[in-house]
Structure 1
Amino acid sequence: MDAVSVASDLLGPTATEDPYALFAELREREPVCWSEAHRAWLVTRYADVAAAFQNKRLSSDRVRPMLAARATEGVPAAADEILSMMSEWMVLSDPPAHTRLRRLAAAAFRGQRIAALEGRIGELVDGFLDGFVAGGHRDLIEHVAYPLPATVIAEMLGAPPADRDRFRRWSGELGLVAFGAGGDARPDRHERALGGLREMFEYFTELAEIRRAAPTGDMLSALLGTEGPDGAALRPDELVGMCSLLLFAGHETTTNSIANGVLTLLKHPDQLARLRGHPELIPSAVEELLRIEGPIKTLVRWVVEDHELGGRTIRNGERVYLLISSANRDPDRFADPERLDLGRAPNPHIAFGRGVHACIGAQLARIEMRVALDRILGRLPELALTEDQLTWNCSLASRSLAALPVTHRAPR
């Protein structure tokens, strides 16, 4: 198989189930490779990906150029409306707009505020594990890994936890578009995603009005009360967009991080035993699990100026896919990168990105992973995979399981 064939197969069954052999071949044979299938450059080596995060000629503001290009492509109207509604999202903007939005959002993500959530996160994990055991359930995603971050972000935003099923539906429908689903995606995915996005925007518009009249200590109230250096606060559309982004990004990736981490441990019983015997390794274990099986495979950038990248000339108006999952297994940066080492140090993985667009919720995600792993391993003795076939969701952007069926010997 040549490099071009590999690059054309990122949504194929092999790449969906286990993309790492394909990434390794690309790193070795053509680390910056044009994919005709995806109409994008694929960047696979750590040094190139890390440098790209700092490269101002690669833009995160890829929605507006896509809208302009789509005018002649006959794309469904729903797709254009989705992009228009997402165009103000912080992760899809560049400085100075991004700088302003991130500064305003940072007030809701102050380290002290996030660290104070650890006790509550522990209570939530214990509650979900109680229900998981008492109900005789097997899918750790459905009953623990999903409801934990969904409930955390709901409480942070001041939304009733009972609404998390609505959040899941909205996020699932938007994910069919935002995460680059494969050819088996529903033909009506744009209409479904648009419907979910409209409902989400309406929901947060109403919730913002409630908090504006009666502020509390939640994140939404903090966002409403924050002003930038120029004295300007978030506009109503920016506020609703920020809440929608935090909801969408704030639980989807953490769900996948927890599930992928547990799966990786179960597939490496020596390291699982090591962690059970030395729970003080949990912080470094979280970093290694994020490195070797993180929740995000690909981040997209838009070329705004011709330049060289990895010895190839990339041109204004082209797309670049930064393959984080490949970079985090680059032997030029990590010794024995395919080996799971829960004590690995240093561990400069880029699972949360780098630079001005580094994930603003990284601290929260780490806390949730640490607490979840500690409780799951402590309360589910002899945790093991079932014989059920695992299914990875077909996506360019995310690395996620459809379900994680397990067995254990915890008493009901």
Structure 2
Amino acid sequence: MAKVTMADIYRQEHIDDPYPLYRRVREADPVYWDDTMGDEGAWMVTGYAAAQTALMDPRLSAKRPHWGPDRLPGDPELDSAHRAIDQQIVVSDAPEHTRLRQHLTRPFLRRRVDAMREDVTKLTHALLDAAVDGESGEMDAMDRFSFALPAISLTGMLGIPAYDQRYLSWMLSLGLLIDDGPLSRSHHRKLLGGVAEYTDFFARQIADRRAAGPGGQKEVLVQTLADHYTGGGFANAEELHGNLAFLLTAGQISTAHQIGNTLLHLLRHPEAYERLRADPAAVPAATAELMRYDASIQLTKRRVREPFELGGHELETGQEVFVWIGAAHRDPEEFADPDRLDLDRTGVKHIAFGHGVHYCLGGRLGQLVHDVAVQAFVERVPSPRLLTDKIERSVMPTFRGPYKLPVGFGR
């Protein structure tokens, strides 16, 4: 019998549906040593309780080993991009993480996010008006809606030029480097080139704002950082630019993919769709179950700082730990009948936004955009139906979601 390995996650059948593989790995052991993963083997955490512990325990570091000096390409311009991503908040530990969170948290405060609801709602309905207008009776729900909505919202919040195809290219470069799978490792230098363009873009945005002097659009993040950045608030310019790139990428890709995942599964579960169509106000209450069922963020990584026990295993200093969020969400020890989408499920404590000190800065905004989008879709799109069973998906297990979602609708 062949040994189970999470390396199979990059096979097309598991890109389409990773959950059977997650189940096999979890049944082998919820904390499973896989010598085919990472640089020299890594722990695969697929159990819910173990995942929660791994995300919270300070004996695990968020620093990514695969971004260390031995991976630097020896090109000054690309080395700068490498250092920028190595200083992002998602891969930082205290005290750096605490400092970065203080600088970057202002746009995501509850009152500011809640104040965005009206504008997000207006934009959502405008996008749906455009998407369903015309005679075709078809639309790509990703291109015309799920990608467009968070893109326009986030570029406005950050105070940067309107979304265009450059952003998507840069985001894919950064996303593949974060995933660190076979595609990333075989195109490392090219992807770093994309990140270099990304961080250079933010360097120009900050420089332009600083040159204009204090003031300007106070409610946008780039202006706020430009007004207060004197070289002391951030360790260096690369740290600032790298974190702006991360905020835009994480907010855009994770939210767009979650909207796509939700719409896909609602259309595949007509009874669930009809319930929400009959009562769109119930969408926010259903969101926890929808995110548990198929989260847009499936994986995050840690490295052991000091030996400790997890799931009956002794983890050694330096070892890599892969926390499979998507697998934890299907753990039957935590969720009864976990492979069933159940909108009546109560007390769902998903970890799609992380857990502990690394809980997603933009989690509240992401959920607001998701909920407004899904509510509007079930209200406004008449008799929607999937036009294909074959969904084009991200090839990165870290980020799960469709790139195309062809939907037909009635009149």
Judge same fold: TM > 0.5, yes or no.
Answer: yes
Q: Which residue of 2 aligns with 1:398?
A: 399
Q: Which residue of 2 aligns with 1:50?
A: 52
Aligned partners of 2:185 and 2:354: how far apart in 1? 30
Q: Which residue of 1 aligns with 2:296?
A: 295
For the structure 1 residues 398 and 46, does the alpha-carbon distance in structure 2 shift closer, same or farther, using more than 3 Å as the test? Answer: same
Aligned partners of 1:80 and 1:55: how far apart in 2? 31
For the structure 1 residues 181 and 405, does the alpha-carbon distance in structure 2 shift closer, same or farther, using more than 3 Å as the test? Answer: farther
Judge which range, 362-371 or 327-336, deviates more: 327-336
Q: Cα RMSD over matched residues? A: 2.4
Q: Which residue of 1 aligns with 2:91?
A: 92
1:358 and 2:356 aligned: no
**3-state SS in 1 of match to 2:402:** coil
The correspondence for 2:61, drawn from 54, 59, 62, is 59
Q: Which residue of 1 aligns with 2:314?
A: 313
Aligned partners of 2:141 and 2:30: how far apart in 1? 36
Once the two structures are superposed, what CA deviation does each residue of 1:28-55 show, in whole Å capped at 9, x if it has no partner? 2211112222122100100000011111
Aligned partners of 1:280 and 1:347: how far apart in 2? 18
For residue 15 of structure 1, report the CA deviation from its aligned partner. Answer: 2.0
**3-state SS in 2 of match to 1:138:** strand
For the structure 1 residues 307 and 275, does the alpha-carbon distance in structure 2 shift closer, same or farther, using more than 3 Å as the test? Answer: same
Q: Which residue of 1 aligns with 2:124?
A: 125
Asked if the contact 2:267/2:273 (under 8 Å) is kept, the reply is yes
Once the two structures are superposed, what CA deviation does each residue of 1:322-353 show, in whole Å capped at 9, x if it has no partner? 01001111111122222212232211111111
Aligned partners of 1:339 and 1:397: how far apart in 2? 22
Asked if the contact 2:5/2:36 (under 8 Å) is kept, the reply is no
Aligned partners of 1:200 and 1:15: how far apart in 2? 30
The correspondence for 1:195, drawn from 193, 196, 205, is 193
For residue 106 of structure 1, report the CA deviation from its aligned partner. Answer: 1.3
Aligned partners of 1:291 and 1:148: how far apart in 2? 22
Asked if the contact 2:26/2:32 (under 8 Å) is kept, the reply is no
Unaligned stretches of 5+ residues in structure 2: none
For residue 181 of structure 1, report the CA deviation from its aligned partner. Answer: 4.4
For residue 308 of structure 1, report the CA deviation from its aligned partner. Answer: 2.0
Asked if the contact 1:151/1:164 (under 8 Å) is kept, the reply is no
For residue 69 of structure 1, report the CA deviation from its aligned partner. Answer: 4.7
Once the two structures are superposed, what CA deviation does each residue of 1:10-41 show, in whole Å capped at 9, x if it has no partner? 22223212111121222222111122221221
Aligned partners of 2:199 and 2:6: how far apart in 1? 36
Matches for 1:17-166 after TM superposition, within 5 Å: 17-38=16-37, 39-63=41-65, 66-70=67-71, 82-134=81-133, 136=136, 137-161=138-162, 163-166=163-166
Q: Which residue of 1 aligns with 2:12?
A: 13
Asked if the contact 2:84/2:239 (under 8 Å) is kept, the reply is no
Q: Which residue of 2 aligns with 1:205?
A: 203
Asked if the contact 1:388/1:405 (under 8 Å) is kept, the reply is no
Aligned partners of 2:68 and 2:286: how far apart in 1? 41
Q: Which residue of 1 aligns with 2:174?
A: 174
Aligned partners of 1:262 and 1:307: how far apart in 2? 41
For the structure 1 residues 349 and 141, does the alpha-carbon distance in structure 2 shift closer, same or farther, using more than 3 Å as the test? Answer: same
Asked if the contact 1:42/1:323 (under 8 Å) is kept, the reply is yes
Paired amino acid for 2:55: F
For the structure 1 residues 353 and 368, does the alpha-carbon distance in structure 2 shift closer, same or farther, using more than 3 Å as the test? Answer: same
Asked if the contact 2:128/2:377 (under 8 Å) is kept, the reply is yes
For residue 219 of structure 1, report the CA deviation from its aligned partner. Answer: 1.7
Paired amino acid for 2:31: V
Asked if the contact 1:58/1:304 (under 8 Å) is kept, the reply is yes
Aligned partners of 1:347 and 1:278: how far apart in 2? 20
For residue 190 of structure 1, report the CA deviation from its aligned partner. Answer: 2.6
For the structure 1 residues 86 and 372, does the alpha-carbon distance in structure 2 shift closer, same or farther, using more than 3 Å as the test? Answer: same
Judge which range, 314-323 or 136-145, deviates more: 136-145
Asked if the contact 2:159/2:220 (under 8 Å) is kept, the reply is yes
Asked if the contact 1:108/1:223 (under 8 Å) is kept, the reply is no
Judge which range, 346-355 or 81-90, deviates more: 81-90
Q: Which residue of 1 aligns with 2:225?
A: 223
Q: Which residue of 2 aligns with 1:271?
A: 272
For the structure 1 residues 79 and 42, does the alpha-carbon distance in structure 2 shift closer, same or farther, using more than 3 Å as the test? Answer: farther
Aligned partners of 1:79 and 1:156: how far apart in 2? 28
Paired amino acid for 1:259: G
Asked if the contact 2:169/2:194 (under 8 Å) is kept, the reply is yes
**3-state SS in 1 of match to 2:309:** strand
**3-state SS in 1 of match to 2:43:** strand
Aligned partners of 1:40 and 1:348: how far apart in 2? 26
Once the two structures are superposed, what CA deviation does each residue of 1:88-143 show, in whole Å capped at 9, x if it has no partner? 11111000110111011112221111111111111221222222122545211111
For the structure 1 residues 26 and 80, does the alpha-carbon distance in structure 2 shift closer, same or farther, using more than 3 Å as the test? Answer: farther
| TM-score, length basis structure 2 | 0.90
| TM-score, length basis structure 1 | 0.90
Judge which range, 286-295 or 331-340, deviates more: 331-340
Asked if the contact 2:281/2:375 (under 8 Å) is kept, the reply is no
Identity of aligned residues (%): 34
